Amino acid sequence: MNNWLKPFMARIVFKKKETYDTSTYGFQLKENPDFSFLPGQFNMVGIPGVGEAPISFSSDPGEKNKFEHTIRAVGRVTQTIARYKEGDGLQIRGPYGRGWPLEDAQGKNILVVAGGIGLAPLRGFLLQVWKDRNDFGKVVILYGARTPEDLLFREELPLWRKKPNTQFLLTVDEVPPRTRWEENQGVVTTLFDRMEVSPDNTLALVCGPEIMMRFVVVGLLQRGYPASRLYLSLERRMKCGVGQCGHCQIGPKYVCRDGPVFCYREIRSFPDTLI
């Protein structure tokens, strides 16, 4: 009988500091040669004695037996992971859940709206898009962070800006004094008027803090995006990953099993969805 709760060892092959509280960890597996995942899915990443936390994949899903997690140190588990270094092992199980609608996105324009660490689960999707660039229409990326210090994937972002048929807009909520900043300032929805894409034939993929997703959803609905083409990646407390511990329920949905990526239409009628 397969034990879905049993973790396996994954060794950290590199650790790259993204910001003062966030790092990207690269893993390579030796014992699980067939391990693969889809962008938007997640692993339960754990340390025996401390616990486990659900963490999205942030890397290119095309690479077999290799994956990356971009982890912000905010809780007990993630703060402990932050002390781990190259060569250390973490206990991992997965992949779990349903990712971004990669198939549905074929031939359509893509609007990515990301806030803070919310860019991590979308990075794998974008890396897939860059690889098969001609399979998708226009790509518009709106990325917001709290301050310029909080931006993730800083070396990669200029490359995304140069991709063909792509618009990339950055914003930060605050600019500390004596900090050079030439992009937009304000919450991510302040970029909406500058989007060069119409709602027709466009899928919107959204991930960020709940409060940001709430305003993004309202804003995009007002701009004519139908609920059926808005996709959100949700965060919930999770203990199992397979729809049994009950923590992540939204109405009849389990975020771990039926999500974490949901079409807004699937979840909008249920209570306690967005804080």
Partner 1 sequence: MNSLLRQYTVIGPVREGREILFQPIKSPQPLQMDYVSTMAAPRKFIYPSRQLLFRFLRHPNDQLITEEILPQGQQILLGVHPCDAHAIMVLDRVFMGEFTDPYYAKKRQNTLLVVLNCQGVGRNCFCDSMGTGPFLHVWMGQDPAKGCDLELTDLGDRYLVEFFSEKAEQLFSFPLETATDEDVQLKRKKETKVKEKFIKKLNLENLPSLLLENLDHPVWSRVGEGMCLSCTNCTMVCPTCYCYNTVDRAELDLSKIERYRYWDSCQELHFAEVHGGNFRSTRGARLRQFVLHKLSYWVKQYGCFGCVGCGRCISWCPTGIDLTEIVGEIRAGRVQ
Query: Which of 243, 263, 266, 268 is in the footprint of partner 1 by CB under 8 A?
Result: 243
Query: Which of 86, 210, 224, 228 is in the footprint of partner 1 by CB under 8 A?
Result: 210
Most distant CA pair in the chain, distance = 60
Question: Under the criterion CB under 8 A, does residue 146 sit at the interface with partner 1?
Answer: no
Query: Which of 65, 239, 263, 268 is in the footprint of partner 1 by CB under 8 A?
Result: 239
Q: How far is CA 141 from the centre of its chain?
A: 13
Give Cα separations from 221 to 137, 194, 224 (angstroms). 21, 16, 5
DSSP, collapsed to helix, strand or coil, labels residue 128 as helix
**Binding track, positions 41-60, relative to partner 1; x by CB under 8 A:** -------xxxxx--------
Question: Under the criterion CB under 8 A, does residue 137 sit at the interface with partner 1?
Answer: no
Cβ contact 54:95 at 8 Å: no
Q: How far is the CB of 169 from partner 1 (least distance, A)?
A: 24
140/110 Cα distance (integer angstroms): 6
Give Cα separations from 8 to 15, 61, 147 (angstroms). 19, 19, 37
Task: State which residue, 74 or 159, has the beta carbon closest to partner 1.
Answer: 74
Instruction: Name the residues that contact partner 1, by CB under 8 A.
Output: 1-7, 9, 48-52, 74-75, 89, 91, 209-210, 235-237, 239-240, 242-247, 249, 251-252, 257, 269, 271-273, 275
